[in-house]
Structure 1
Amino acid sequence: MTAMLNTATRPNWLRPSVIQPLNEHRNALKNGAEVDQDEVGFFLYDLDYLAQHLSTLMQQDVIKLWFAVKANPLSRVITTLAQQGFNFDVASQGELTQVLAQNVQAERILNTGPAKSKQQMKAFLTQGVRTFVVESLNQLQWLNEAATELSCRPQVLLRVQLQWDEGEKNPLGGNEVTAFGLSCQEWQTIKVSDFLALNINGLHIFQWGNMLSNERMFELWSQMVTPLLSLAEQLEMTLEVLDLGGGLGVDYLQTGQSLHWDNIVADLAKIKARAGVSELWLELGRFAVAEMGYYVTSVVDRKENFDQQQLVLSGGINHLIRPAITEQPFPVAMLRESQASESYFDLHGPLCTSLDKLGTLAIANDVGIDDQLIFGLAGAYGFTESMPFFLCHPIAAEYVLQQGKIEQVRAAQPATWYLR
């Protein structure tokens, strides 16, 4: 079965302050491209919107911006980011290979992640990467040895983990002890001068996620300055770079809370001045790409169970797992227009587990079998964060929308694509 997916205008079912629609017509996405619905679910990324959004983020000279590739490693997304001047935060050899394959120069790449072996860091050095976030004493020693072997001197930031009086509960741990970096006390056991092959000139800290308050973000950033400056002094290091990671949030629940970029830049200018650093870095993921993405799937069944309306969908957490692990569902609507009043539905996917639920959300009450649902804010942590192999359902396709045309980047694939 095929269905026409219009591609010129964006739906107005999300607040303009969240999605910035170029057109207020409900008749979503015009221009006559056909999408094969045998694939049961697919992602669509609006690269024109992405380029516009990134251009806005780049119109400042306070922060050096990196893209956390884990948020969306699709080739065309990386290319768009590179064209807009973003640098790239990669946390695995696979991410590095993908970024280099898009003709991004290695000097624009930062290697992060808690599981860096000496072999991986040496491989990154061999491929030209010269900037590393180091997360353990072993990593520091291994990188020093590898750099000595290869006669190079990479730039190094030490990742610091702090504890707070009031921990922010989030996927990175907040006030809990995690594998990300070390405490100030642990870092104080080293001498920067002992690592002659490394230019250790920065500190990295990031342990909160999806923050939606400018005031709270500034409060957290402000609390970090004193302990980090103290650590730099104790290590006798010249602190030139402060990397604040990411954590800038997206209003998945449509509460009306959202961060204001101008305020972020103004706040970070104050942090930069207080810290006395020449460079301030952010690694953006969802804040950079979430709003350009959509996920589309269809209704397989509708039923009522214990007075609760339920929709069973062709795709669920096998394509879009974030709602299940964060309890933050993606906003949703029917693709077709409807004048019917809305009702709340439990949205379940096709997997044989109660975890496969995309939320309880309001949808027009005349929704029925074969209707398509479109989820917004799906440009980050979508396809590559999903669990596509359980139950052997098809792998979701990915499309891009650019200059009014839809192009397939990867076709849907049956389970025989990976089963052996």
Structure 2
Amino acid sequence: MELEKYKWVVRENKIEHLLGNNQLEQRTVITIGVQNKKNGIIVPHPITHFIKENYEFKGKSISAQINPARKIVGLLNFINEQIIKGNPDYQILHEKGFRGLQLKHAAQYITHCSEKKLAYDYVRGSIERYLIHFYSYLKSMELIDEEIVFDTYISKRGEEVIISPFLDPTLDTQYPSTNRVIKNKLKDFGDIPEKRNKLVYEFLEEARRVMPEIAFGIALQFFGGLRRGEVVNLTAGSIPTDFLSGSNYVAVLDNQNILFRHLQNTTKEQVKRARIQPILPSTYLKELYDAHIKMNMKVEKMNPYAFFVDSKGKTISGGTYEKKFGKVKDAYLERLNSTQGRYSDWNMLRESIWGTHIGRGVFTNFLYNRGLDDKQMAIARGDRSTESAKEYIDYRNAISNFQMAIEILSSEEIVDVGKTMTRNWDWEVFSK
């Protein structure tokens, strides 16, 4: 069968986009295409418009575009397999293409994913959610023949939410069992300020020992709430020359064009929102910054713009940063596990899911402990809105709140995690 020669794929491509002033701008776009398995040639498919319409044109990040694209490609490749196997339920698709797509096809795909022992939350919260959006799109574009009625409800946040049509009992959709041990997602290093400070300091000291090239980056996540991609996008020009000696901020910008042009996939190098990011004042953070500058001066950078480089001068990408963070995490857990009196801390960190994003959680709680209100916290975190507010923050209020947050954060040395502790890695002291 001719169909066996092809498969659906997702690709991240860089294109030149012509702006209104006749200037060319390089952009990264997500494409769904059909690949010839024999020669590797990929032909973009018009169904890519689903990603553009629902995600790209709404300003979503590359990762927010590539995730639904992969889920849709998973469904389409599953359909191809069923057609090749001669499954009678799928022959209508062989004849009609997308117009023959029905709810039962996606329902069977969800069941297929469930049988692969995928997690319940992943199947319901990711795969099914994107399939709902996909079918809604196909209906709105009049690309399918099946008559589908989508029921909706208004969430507590005032948003219209589509009720999953795959819950219809006639479809017999099977979902993964929820009877399993679920690891909690750790968003902070504890709700006691003293304990949080202690763990932050220890973790940063472990980073200095194991992966010194990213220790300052991790500190910026703790003290400024930067995301992984925002850290690796920093250049020397992103940080004021009087950093923490007068200016308590960094410029979070999308510098992919000068730092990561060599990467085909930049999902982990995305900047969610360009902004001036306030940083919590700390003499300890200043110490880490100075150490980072001295370290950079000892290596010959392959890219002169890069601020985070390894010992060979190679620019640290988001993926590399994530791996290095993981090594710091493993080393820290090992230290805790071998230290008397630290079982509760080790068990809390071991039994939970956490990675680089925990820095934003720690930063948020630093702000919370200083009494910032929702709007001030949203501005300080670089968010577009608060969780409790349904509307976007008015621009003038945002500027006012930002200035207020800067004044509050700069009024005193808020967090100096190393002040009350020995500067040596003394586990007897830490365990008391």
Return the TM-score normalized by structure 1: 0.23
> What's the TM-score once normalised by structure 2's chain length?
0.23
Q: Which has the higher contact order (CA 8 A, sep 6+)?
A: 1
Whichever structure has more strand as a proportion of its residues is 1
Q: Which has the higher helix share?
A: 2
